[in-house]
Amino acid sequence: MQHLNRRQIYEWMAYAKLFPFGDDRADYRTALQTFFMRAAWLEGDPGEPADYMPKFDNAGPKTAAQLIVDEILESL
């Protein structure tokens, strides 16, 4: 099959949110490296390594697609 319908795309999005693809620790390793470089090179409190993690879920108001994905995740 060359195409996915809308429902299949939402199902894959929900699955990827529950079981992420790829290396889950790459963001944490990069944040940890940034934290240590910041602590070594600059004065002052560097904060916590979690402060350097990307925050994808807090980007602003949810779109209609995000609300649909949330409904799918709640139904699982």
Query: Domains of the chain: which residue ranges?
Result: 6-75
Q: Residue 30: exposed, middle, or buried by beta-carbon count in 10 A (0-12, 13-18, 19+)?
A: middle
Q: What is the pLDDT of residues 5-55, one digit of tens each?
A: 888 888 888 888 887 776 767 888 888 999 999 999 988 888 888 888 877
pTM tops 0.85, yes or no: no
pLDDT band at residue 2 under the 50/70/90 scheme: confident
pLDDT value of position 36: 93
Phi, psi of 29 (to 5 degrees): -60, -45
Q: What is the pLDDT of residues 51-74, one digit of tens each?
A: 888 776 656 677 777 788 888 888
Q: Token pair for residue 22?
A: 């790829």
CA distance 57 to 8: 22
